[in-house]
Amino acid sequence: MTTEETTGQQPPRVGFFTDTSVCIGCKACEVACKEWNLVPEDGLTLTGMSYDNTAALGASTWRHVAFVEQTKPLGGQQAHQPHADLDVLALAARGSATPVDEAAITPTTPGPPTADGRTELRWLMASDVCKHCTEAACLDVCPTGALFRTEFGSVVVQQDVCNGCGYCVPACPFGVIEQREGDGRAFKCTLCYDRLGAGQEPACAKSCPTESIQFGPLDELRERAERRVAQLREGGVPDARLYGADPDDGVGGGGAFFLLLDEPEVYGLPPDPRVTTRDLPTMWRHAALAALTLLGGIAAAHRVFGRKR
């Protein structure tokens, strides 16, 4: 039973705000998604890409945690602090009684200014997911109507209808949806359609220990995200930005959007995705023109070269 049926109203459009600044890369979301949705195993390979052995979203990966290692400072974070003069064992013996100022490593202690030329390292982690686009290319191009928009505003494949034509796969500007090998049909995140219907939040958001993945009505999430980005900038993280939150972007905004700490492409996301359906009228016009030219050319050739001998 859906919320709509119980209240007689259209439920608000819901989605994800993934705040990557608090992601710790635990992959609980990946696991919870696989468990809840019974998504099959899709390879146990080592990629050599930091801690990311999942590699990418796909037919059998509906949440993917990206790991990026960069030699960039993270909001004034101090790396390589000299600790030679600290007796860590003595500090440890004092346990939690150690005053913050004397502790060897506390994330809240400001260190001395960094000497020029010192390398700093930061580790970016981000849990990617289907964006549930407002203007979803996958849905637009699906010839069978297998892809549809739910009452919650999410985009879902009806597995009993999909005939595996594979058209949605290259249509998605984010490379999300994919055909499952050996099955042939297309699969992707459903925003836990079954859980939403039962008044539960999606499994990934439920499992996220830092609330990096936040679920809720889209309007509310967008406001919260604006506040969060302002807070981070204030705190000295100038590269913090929202991705997919703007309803005027190339896909009409995502039902799932992100707070990123670097350019989208660093995380494997397209910097300016566009739903290609917007150009479809132009394309049809050119196809019609081309078809008419073809007919005209054949007719002309028969006039000019078609004299009987």
- Known binding site for [4Fe-4S] cluster: residues? 23, 26, 29, 33, 130, 133, 138, 142, 162, 165, 168, 172, 189, 192, 204, 208
**Tally of CB atoms within 10 A around 266:** 17
Per CB under 6 A, does 156 bind ligand SF4?
no
- Answer for which of 136, 208, 213, 218 binds ligand SF4 (CB under 6 A) is 136
The window from 41-49, 75-83, 163-171, 288-296 that contacts ligand SF4 (CB under 6 A) reads 163-171
Can you say which residues are annotated as belonging to the binding site?
23, 26, 29, 33, 130, 133, 138, 142, 162, 165, 168, 172, 189, 192, 204, 208
Q: Give the per-residue contact string, 184-203, with ligand SF4 (x = CB under 6 A; - = no).
A: -xx-x---------------
Asked whether 42 and 76 are in contact (CB, 8 A), the reply is no
Distance CA 232, CA 246 (A): 19
- Answer for which of 23, 33, 125, 177 binds ligand SF4 (CB under 6 A) is 177
Query: 114-124 in b/e burial notation, b at 16+ Cβ within 10 A?
Result: beeeeeeebeb
Question: Which pairs from 267-272 meet CB under 8 Å and 24+ separation?
Answer: 267/20, 267/66, 267/68, 267/124, 267/126, 267/128, 268/56, 268/66, 268/128, 269/128, 269/174, 269/243, 270/173, 270/174
Per CB under 6 A, does 159 bind ligand SF4?
no
Q: Name the one residue in this structure whose structure tokens are 């060897």.
A: 104
Per CB under 8 A, does 210 bind another protein?
yes
The window from 41-49, 62-70, 166-174, 290-298 that contacts ligand SF4 (CB under 6 A) reads 166-174
Distance CA 161, CA 148 (A): 11
- Answer for which of 34, 245, 254, 258 binds another protein (CB under 8 A) is 245
HSE of 238, CA atoms in CB hemisphere, 13 A? 3
* Residue 71 CA: distances (Å) to CA of 68, 79, 117, 215, 269: 10, 11, 12, 32, 20
Q: Which of residues 144-163 bind another protein (CB under 8 A)?
A: 144-146, 161-163
Q: Which is nearer to ligand SF4, 54 or 232 (CB)?
A: 54
Per CB under 8 A, does 40 bind another protein?
no
Structure tokens at 29: 């979301």
Contact positions toward ligand SF4, by CB under 6 A? 130-133, 136-138, 142, 144, 146-147, 155, 157, 162-168, 172, 174, 176-177, 185-186, 188
